[in-house]
């Protein structure tokens, strides 16, 4: 069953095993206050880690990679929407849409999606 929390079609598919983890890595420019915010069904996924690694060392800029690690809980197909937002806005400037397929056995787990 697919749950649609966005008006956009999933651009990438992530396969995970129930009880396993997967990662989503995104480029982030924090200089202007932008950051990625995940939206997902809490009965199917848990965000268990959120790390930011600065990759550009300039005093006036803050660029880097953001790695989100999720725990896949419930077998099925679920949307994962990563919204690129500025802190003071209510709407996202950009969205990345994923379809997460959680399997009970033998599916690739712990996979990293860049």
Q: What is the pLDDT of residues 53-111, one digit of tens each?
A: 887 767 767 778 999 999 999 999 999 999 988 877 778 878 899 999 999 966 455 55
Tens-digit pLDDT profile for residues 9-55 = 668 999 999 999 999 999 887 777 788 899 999 999 999 999 988 87
pTM above 0.85, yes or no: no
List of domains in the chain: 12-113 (2.60.40.2020)
Tokens 């200089």, located at residue: 31
């Amino acid at each position: 069953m697919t749950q649609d929390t966005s008006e956009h079609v999933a651009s990438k598919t992530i396969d995970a095993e129930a009880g396993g983890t997967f990662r989503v890595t995104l480029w982030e420019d924090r200089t202007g206050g932008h950051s990625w915010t995940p939206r997902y069904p809490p009965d199917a996924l848990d965000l268990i880690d959120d790390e930011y690694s600065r990759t550009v060392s300039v005093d006036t800029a803050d660029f880097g990679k953001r790695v989100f690690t999720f725990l896949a809980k419930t077998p099925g197909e679920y949307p994962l929407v990563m919204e690129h937002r500025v802190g003071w806005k209510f709407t996202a400037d950009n969205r990345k849409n994923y379809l997460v397929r959680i399997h009970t056995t033998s599916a690739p787990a712990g996979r990293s999606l860049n």
